[in-house]
Amino acid sequence: MLILTQKEIKKILPLKKIDIVINAVQKAFSDYGQNKVQMPAKLYLYFKEFNGDLRIMPSFSETLKLAGTKIVNVHPDNYKKRLKSIMAVIVLNDARTGLPLTLMDGTYITALRTGAASAVATKYLARKEAKSLGVIGAGSQAITQILAIAQVRKLSEILVYDINEEAIKNLEKILANEKIKIKKASLKETAQKDILVTITPAKKPIIKKEWILPGTHINAIGADAVGKEELDPQILKKAKIIVDDWAQASHSGEINVPLKKGILKKKDVYAYLSEIICGKKIGRKNNKEITIFDSTGLAVQDLYTANIVYNLAKKKKLGKQIKII
């Protein structure tokens, strides 16, 4: 079994190569839309005493002939312990024999593939001439969201809002190394852009319906557990809703609370992103539509990204081989 650390993975797939991940994630969605993958919904273990949870995410790809399992935690209070709020590991198994091939850090991969998923959604759903981006939340996920979306749209303005100004300053420094400039703005100003990304742990809506302009595309990322929501449900009511997976989105995505309250029904969800990528459904029909991608994160996104990392690691002879069996 090949053991790969986060440091090694960053050598293999630095931020400047996020376009490779975007292509892998698009292929993952495409295969999902063509029923070439098996992917049960995430399994959650809740730790209420510690304000956290653990998620187990398995998948299998007929195309890759690989199975992958990610174990990932979400603990919003970890910053108090100087730990990341999201940490993960990924195991890949050869589907032909079941042999475990690699154990790798999944924390960085999670950030990469989540940003890549937003880029794919933006590519298919945002207006072609969209050039301004608003990002609500300046944590580590904001880095890959901005870098990935900049690959699919030529951005002339990037506004960022966070209740923690230090987080914005830190984000600004990191992105400066990638030749990308951001500007701090109010919550309302940030929401009124061509493309909006929400990546907060909010459990009550923070984005008001009157802020969202016609033609906006929204990548709703933060709602990833039961009870979380970032958008005023009335935004969802008047928008075209696209989910990554119905089972996950209805359980813990942006639509989960409005569904439970009866504000939304299953028929209000227009499509899976995979259906649009495969050409089974049309994405944006006009420049006035508000589109929302409800992203919960799919195990196949991790599988296809981890596969690239594994193959490049072997080629570059990185990592440590251990005999685990």
Delimit the CATH 3.40.50.720 region(s) of the chain.
126-297
What does the pLDDT read at residue 79? Answer: 86
Tokens of 84: 């990341």
What does the pLDDT read at residue 38? Answer: 98
Residue recorded with tokens 């939304």: 264
Delimit the CATH 3.30.1780.10 region(s) of the chain.
2-109+300-321
Closest to 140 (Cα-Cα) out of 173, 165, 111, 163: 111
CA distance linking residue 191 with residue 292, whole number of Å = 13
- The alpha carbon of residue 193 and the mean position of all alpha carbons in its chain are separated, in whole angstroms, by 20
Residue 28, helix vs strand vs coil: helix
Q: Which of 42, 70, 193, 240 is catalytic?
A: 70
Class in CATH terms, 2-109+300-321: alpha beta
pTM of the model: 0.94
CA distance linking residue 90 with residue 88, whole number of Å = 7
The answer to whether residue 183 is catalytic is: no
CA distance linking residue 222 with residue 226, whole number of Å = 11
The answer to whether 297 and 117 have CB atoms below 8 angstroms apart is yes
CA distance linking residue 263 with residue 43, whole number of Å = 26
Where in 106-259 does DSSP place strands (E)?
132-136, 157-161, 183-184, 195-198, 217-220, 240-243
Between the CA of residue 235 and those of 16, 43, 241, what are the distances in Å? 34, 29, 10
Residue type, 298: L
Residue type, 221: I
Identify any residues that bridge with 184 across adjacent strands, giving them in sequence order: 160
Q: Tens digit of pLDDT per residue, the chain (325 long)? A: 999 999 999 999 999 999 999 999 999 999 999 999 999 988 999 999 999 999 999 999 999 999 999 999 999 899 899 998 889 999 999 999 999 999 999 999 999 999 999 999 999 999 999 999 999 999 989 999 999 999 999 999 999 999 999 999 999 999 999 999 999 999 999 999 999 999 999 999 999 999 999 999 999 999 988 999 999 999 999 999 999 999 999 999 999 999 999 999 999 999 999 999 999 999 999 999 999 999 999 999 999 999 999 999 999 999 999 998 8
Name all contacts of 212-215 with Cβ < 8 Å and 24+ positions apart: 212/290, 214/287, 214/288, 214/289, 214/290, 215/127, 215/130, 215/287, 215/288, 215/289, 215/290
What does the pLDDT read at residue 265? Answer: 97
Closest to 233 (Cα-Cα) out of 161, 294, 295, 185: 294
Superfamily for the 126-297 domain: NAD(P)-binding Rossmann-like Domain (3.40.50.720)
